[in-house]
Structure 1
């Protein structure tokens, strides 16, 4: 029987295909000397924290450690985050302060410090990730053109710190593994595309690349039928909106 894409059953197949690789959290890649083949796994928790917990538990069964980035206050849930962290996963800050302050950099860095401190009351946060909202005109990464993240105890950012890294980037943005619906969450020429998750599994098994960097959004990976319908419907609406924005641009 065919496995439905963007379900935890399919993600389980991805986890199995990762067995020959050194699977890394973002902090590990940025702070250690890594042997190939490796795969960095990062999850942007934009919504649906229950999906993030289910995915974290599944990864743990396969001995996989990855990074989960949470938005404040939208997906910040100390209890769920603590449970994910207890499985060995890294907890990171999914910041969007330029959007919140409408592009005012001084206010943005002040807000960044405030929210980072909230995270650090309970978690050791040393890596961060921009939340790329396609409906706003600001690019959160430009905050680091003006300020030094290392002075805040941050060792890396998931886009800025990877500009000079030799990695091949894949993301499930838009419920697809190609770049058709990516506006901000890109790494340029480092991007590679596959048609679907099954093709990704085959790519992993073939060991074509030894330096992969994979992004998922847990809301997209369903753990039951109702969860799948909700996720599919939400993605359909978002993809339609992105098509409109793309035509306007």
Structure 2
């Protein structure tokens, strides 16, 4: 279950078993052959991300936090800086193709603008991670992953490694575990699962099973979403139930082509609204 108590247990087991964790940036720069990367996709609620960062720091664990651009606000910046001061990598969780409705020029402009904001606030961007959105209706692009698949973009930002698109840069046979869908899964092909849905992911029972896998395998990336975590197990169960109920409703609605288009447009417009309402601040 997604409680801080369970994450504390997980981190204590990582330490007890002498499982060395690295930030994504450290693995890229040091070309480590064997590693465990723990990454967090921060899409809402920076305070929850900070709670996880404090637990990890208690056990001497360094992880990577990928933060969406609209969260770089005056209110959040002190918390984000604290995460970095605890020894973690603080970098960019981009969704520029979706947020600009597939407009490549605007996507590139937003990406570059956000890079400057990270730099102005002393956050080093050497690795990035794309945001996924299963309900977005797309024409002309598969997902945000297409941004770094583009040779021109990849060349322009050659100093940046996309932890998903360029996963092979971390070595062959990297295992990618995600908590997407309020459960743990070994993702079959993280780089291409937006284009090829035929490969099946493998369910992982719980954090104990993940610890067992970490002890057996040489190269693993574990991805979580901090907004799912909290103090209460009851609230965690309720949030999981709400998530599955909402997902079922959305899946039903998106069977209708017209409603699917409306829902996709709503995501894109809501993202633009959030970015304008939550003004981002340079240092």
TM-score by length of 1: 0.83
Once the two structures are TM-superposed, the CA of residue 217 in structure 1 deviates from its matched residue by 0.4
Cross-structure match for 1:134: 134
Once the two structures are TM-superposed, the CA of residue 193 in structure 1 deviates from its matched residue by 3.5
Check whether the contact 1:49–1:80 (CA below 8 A) recurs between aligned residues: yes
Q: Does 1:8 align with 2:4?
A: yes
Counterpart secondary structure, 2:125? coil
Query: What is the correspondence of 1:180-199 to structure 2 with a 5 Å cutoff?
Result: 186=193, 192-199=202-209
Q: Does 1:215 align with 2:223?
A: yes
Counterpart secondary structure, 2:41? strand
Once the two structures are TM-superposed, the CA of residue 237 in structure 1 deviates from its matched residue by 4.2
2:182 corresponds to which of 170, 175, 200: 175
- Check 1:42–1:174 CA distance in 2 against 1; reply closer, same or farther (3 A cut): same
Check whether the contact 1:171–1:216 (CA below 8 A) recurs between aligned residues: yes
Check whether the contact 2:38–2:223 (CA below 8 A) recurs between aligned residues: yes
Query: What is the correspondence of 1:218-233 to structure 2 with a 5 Å cutoff?
Result: 218-224=226-232, 228=236, 231-232=239-240
Cross-structure match for 1:106: 105
Counterpart secondary structure, 2:180? coil
Alpha-carbon distance in structure 1 between the residues aligned to 2:100 and 2:226: 27
How far does the alpha carbon of each residue in 1:91-118 deviate from its partner, in whole angstroms, 9 at most, with x for none?
1111111111111112211111112111
TM-score by length of 2: 0.74
Once the two structures are TM-superposed, the CA of residue 33 in structure 1 deviates from its matched residue by 2.9
Cross-structure match for 1:31: 29
Once the two structures are TM-superposed, the CA of residue 160 in structure 1 deviates from its matched residue by 1.2
Check whether the contact 2:2–2:233 (CA below 8 A) recurs between aligned residues: no
How far does the alpha carbon of each residue in 1:32-63 deviate from its partner, in whole angstroms, 9 at most, with x for none?
13253x21111001112111000000000010
Check whether the contact 1:219–1:231 (CA below 8 A) recurs between aligned residues: no
Alpha-carbon distance in structure 2 between the residues aligned to 1:103 and 1:186: 19
Q: Does 1:49 align with 2:46?
A: yes
Check whether the contact 1:56–1:89 (CA below 8 A) recurs between aligned residues: yes
Unaligned 5+ segments in structure 2 are: 258-283
Unaligned 5+ segments in structure 1 are: none
How far does the alpha carbon of each residue in 1:166-224 deviate from its partner, in whole angstroms, 9 at most, with x for none?
211100001101269x99995987965412223223434xx221211100001112124
**Equivalences, count:** 241
- Check 1:39–1:134 CA distance in 2 against 1; reply closer, same or farther (3 A cut): same
How far does the alpha carbon of each residue in 1:113-159 deviate from its partner, in whole angstroms, 9 at most, with x for none?
11211111111222111111112134111112143345336330121
Check whether the contact 1:43–1:217 (CA below 8 A) recurs between aligned residues: yes
